[in-house]
Structure 1
Amino acid sequence: MVNKAVLPVAGFGSRMLPASKSIPKEMLPVVDRPAIEYVVKEAVRAGIKEIILVSHSSKGAIEDYFDTQFELEHQLAEKGKHALLSEVRDILPGDVSVISVRQHQALGLGHAVACAAPVVGDEPFAVLLPDVLVDCAGCAEDLGVMVEKYHASGAAQIMVEEVPAERVDQYGIVALKGEVPGAGESASMVAVMEKPAIEDAPSRLSVVGRYVLPGKIMSILADTPPGAGGEIQLTDAIATLLETSSVEAYAMRGRTFDCGNKAGYLRAVFHYAARHAELGEQVRAMMAEELVV
């Protein structure tokens, strides 16, 4: 069963400078909670019980956020702020644990995932890139469906979405055995390429940042040499996995927000603020006023 998720959070967040100079980019608020909380809760809703942060010495604030803060909770209780206390105390269910391992050098996504090998062992696991928020409002959550498909077929699941042809050189791009799957469906992959030239791209299906992988990918990563950008690429390890195992591309149904850059982050803030249970009506009115101006 897929009970573990690896979240690589060791990056410096250079695209979010200067804000990320002293605040981990994953802790920047999307309305009233940090972006990382959305991603962790997505994993929990998919049945994940153990969150593994692949972190850096400067990212202690992320671990602290998911820890108990006795003094704060005591003060909220003393002041009778029970609703706020509940929000602070109940960020995650009691049966979910958050642990951290270190990535001492920035050697790529594949290397970051491999840093979690001692904790993951031989078990299947999910990988969630915390820069990407996935909103599946109104439909079954994509990560949960991917986990179900892995349990049913044993095939690794890679979330994909279509991008314009002129942008394929910015992403990992998959090649399929047959037709492009419909939303919420999977199709067998035959290859995956990291940031191919436009003329070499096998499709326009880009890897989104959600994976469900077998434990043996860790041993493959251990033998994966540096690839694009001189980094150890997870896509290269998946390409090797394809030589002996089934890997499927899962066509997402939700909507993605890239919080790793300023425009994508602002888009996420607007989206989640407009849908916020308490603030949504005010926010939509404010946005309409700003558009008029």
Structure 2
Amino acid sequence: MQQKIRKAVLPVAGLGTRFLPATKANPKEMLPVVDKPLVQYAAEEAIAAGIEVLIFITGRNKRSIPDHFDKAYELETELESRGKMKRLDEVRGIIPKGVTCIYIRQAEAHGLGHAVGCAEAVVGNEPFAVMLADDLIDTNGVPCMKRMVERYERHGGSLIGVERVPQEHTERYGIVSTSDFRPRLGRVNAIVEKPKPENAPSNLGVVGRYILSPSIFQILRRTKPGAGGEVQLTDAIAELLAQESVFAYEFEGRRYDCGDKLGYLQATVEYALKHPELGPDFAAYLSRMQQSRPQQAIAGIR
């Protein structure tokens, strides 16, 4: 029986420079998609997968993240006095009972591998999840990390979330080569960080969902800076391959790259369209807008 995945690392120390000036004082992970910040979507996905401990790797100007997940006495009192019980339940339910939040300061930004390594003292000798809030994954059903935990419980080994990307975009991703690729799962033979299209071993791009063996920490301690002068988690996983099995999981659903302005806007539109309160009115608005401004081809966003 596999050891239970109890902890998830959420690296949230990035500067969010693509969204300046909006992120000058506000973390990019707190940018809202309709009515919830990106980091809350990631936390909810982790909790749905049975995660009990959320480990946030934070940096400067990230104070609003722990504030968001903390209890807000004044707000709750105000909502209760006004009889807004639905909103009160929403605020109180952001982190359910039994789930613990831990915040670790990454003093210097040395890359994703370095950020994950900062969690070693808290994770200890347990397998754990890594989730990047920038990658918002809509599965319209069972959340991506829950599916990955199920695969881990069945097969063991570390697990990397992947999706098929356009060949010309391989330089934006870590790319894996696999063998015995059954429906949505294959054994990883190699992983390369941001290869040129002509050198890419496949078009299976790594996205922000991982389940990793604690052995990764020992490797990260000796991993030298790689692409971009940063400690790459991809490089550490490449070394992990020599020690144990690593699998690639091709998730079901759609990923929105919310670290990119266009991806963020696409996510906002799509999540607004299916929002139980706003969806019908927003769809009607887009329809009217399309009729009045056909040259903008608004229908093409769906």
Range of TM-score over shorter length: over 0.9
- How far apart are residue 140 of structure 1 and its match? 3.0
Equivalent residue runs for 1:207-218 within 5 Å: 207-218=206-217
Cα distance in 1 between the residues matched to 2:237 and 2:220: 9
Structure 1 position 225 matched with structure 2 position 228: no
| Pick aligned residue for 1:74 from 74, 77, 101 | 77
Match of 2:186 in 1: 187
Normalized against structure 2, the TM-score is what?
Answer: 0.94
Q: CA deviation at 1:148?
A: 1.5
Match of 1:104 among 104, 107, 121: 107
Which residue does the alignment assign to 1:249?
248
* 3-state SS, counterpart of residue 123 of structure 1: coil
1:58 equivalent in alignment to 2:61 = yes
Match of 1:282 in 2: 281
The alpha-carbon deviation at position 93 of structure 1 amounts to 1.2
Question: Would you say 1:144 and 2:146 are equivalent positions?
Answer: yes
Report Cα offsets for 1:214-262 as digits up to 9, x if no partner.
1111111111111111110000010000001000000111110111111
Whichever residue aligns with residue 157 of structure 2, its letter is A
C-alpha separation in 2, matches of 1:76 and 1:60: 23
User: Which residue is equivalent to 1:123?
Assistant: 126
Helix, strand or coil: the match of 1:238? helix
Aligned residue pair count: 289
Preserved contact between residue 273 and residue 283 of structure 2 (Cα < 8 Å): yes
Separation in 2 of the partners of 1:290 and 1:236?
A: 47
Contact 2:216 2:237 in 1 (8 A): yes
Query: What amino acid maps onto 1:199 in structure 2?
Result: E
Aligned partners of 1:57, 1:212: CA distance in 2, in Å?
27
Counterpart Cα distance in 1 of 2:30 and 2:148: 26
Instruction: Give SS of 1:210's match.
Output: strand
Give the C-alpha shift of residue 291 in structure 1: 2.0
Alpha-carbon distance in structure 2 between the residues aligned to 1:22 and 1:58: 6
Amino acid at match of 2:152: Y
Cα distance in 2, alignment partners of residues 219 and 152 from structure 1: 25
State the distance in 1 between where 2:103 and 2:175 align.
Answer: 30
Q: Name the residue aligned to 1:163.
A: 165
Partners of 2:194 and 2:71 in 1: CA distance: 41
Following superposition, the deviation at residue 37 of structure 1 comes to 0.7
* 3-state SS of paired residue (1:20): coil
Flag structure 1 segments of 5+ consecutive residues without an equivalent.
Answer: none
Asked if structure 2 preserves the Cα contact closer than 8 Å seen for 1:5 and 1:48, the reply is yes
Note the residue ranges of structure 2 that are not aligned, 5 or more in a row. 294-302
Cα displacement string for residues 7-32 of structure 1 (whole angstroms, at most 9, x for unaligned residues): 00000100111111111111111111
Work out whether residues 45 and 144 of structure 2, in 8 Å CA contact, stay in contact via their aligned partners in 1: no
Out of 173, 176, 180, the position equivalent to 1:174 is 176
Which residue in 1 is equivalent to 2:202? 203
Q: 1:141 touches 1:254 (CA, 8 Å); kept in 2?
A: no
Instruction: Determine helix, strand or coil for the equivalent of 1:74.
Output: helix
Match of 2:298 in 1: none
Give the alignment's Cα RMSD to 1 decimal. 1.0
Q: Is the 8 A contact 2:170 2:205 kept in 1?
A: yes
For 1:252 and 1:24, locate their aligned partners in 2 and report how far apart those are by CA, in whole Å. Answer: 27
Matched, 1:32 2:31: no
DSSP-derived class of the 2:190 partner: strand
